[in-house]
Amino acid sequence: MSGQDKRRDENKNPDGTKGAGRQLVTIRLGNQLLGLPIEKVHDVFFPSNFTPVPMSIEQIAGVLNLRGRIVTIIDLSKIMGLTPVNEEIGERPAVGVIYANESYGLLTDTLGEVVTLGQDLFEPNPVNMDPAWSQLSLGTYRLDEELLVVLDIDALIEGLLKKDAA
């Protein structure tokens, strides 16, 4: 490895991101704080006028046309096994993501803010974390008053598509 390549590797965080920290879009689902890697987030919106998909799995709330894109609305509360604060889907915000060139909206309870967290706070999933959550988590950040779970968007949607195909 050349000296220049070594310096480049030294600037990378263990999770592959560069710089002093990782930027996350925070959301809250039930009482749990979750983080979505900012590079995976396309937009945020409130889904309205969506169409339920007949015979789809319960995690798929429906589809809608958002600025000319067909967006599949996924109910995160059903995937994560949490009770949403508000049952009215049209009143819950969604975070737009792209996976395999398809648009998805992840329904949540509340949108937070964009935060930059240092790698020194990043930890692997706790050993006592629910195995279903561990499969959907990249790791955690131990904050002053709570644990922020970083969602693995690719694993989440990939697992949902496999479940839908079964």
Task: Classify residue 8: in a domain, yes or no.
Answer: no
Task: Classify residue 110: in a domain, yes or no.
Answer: yes
Domain count, the chain: 1
The answer to whether residues 82 and 140 touch, using CB atoms and an 8 Å cutoff, is no
Strand partners, 75: 107
Residue 134: count other Cβ atoms within 10 Å of its Cβ.
16
The pLDDT tens digits along the chain (166 residues) read: 444 433 333 444 444 445 578 999 999 998 899 999 999 999 999 998 889 999 999 999 999 999 899 999 999 999 999 888 877 766 899 999 999 999 999 999 999 999 999 999 999 999 999 999 999 999 999 998 999 999 999 999 999 888 766 5
For residue 60 the two structure tokens come to: 């798929």
Owning domain of residue 156: 24-165
Task: Classify residue 19: in a domain, yes or no.
Answer: no
Task: Classify residue 160: in a domain, yes or no.
Answer: yes
C-alpha distance from residue 49 to each of 46, 54, 65, 66, 73 (Å): 10, 16, 9, 10, 11
For residue 54 the two structure tokens come to: 């007949």
Reference 157, options 105, 84, 89, 108; nearest CA is 105
Task: Classify residue 42: in a domain, yes or no.
Answer: yes
Q: Which element (helix H / strand E) includes 77? A: helix 76-80
The answer to whether residues 138 and 151 touch, using CB atoms and an 8 Å cutoff, is yes
Task: Classify residue 43: in a domain, yes or no.
Answer: yes
The answer to whether residues 61 and 73 touch, using CB atoms and an 8 Å cutoff, is yes
Task: Classify residue 1: in a domain, yes or no.
Answer: no
The answer to whether residues 109 and 29 touch, using CB atoms and an 8 Å cutoff, is yes
Task: Classify residue 2: in a domain, yes or no.
Answer: no
For residue 90 the two structure tokens come to: 């049209």
Q: Please report, for the domain that includes residue 47, its CATH number.
A: 2.40.50.180
Asked whether the whole model's pTM tops 0.85, one would answer no
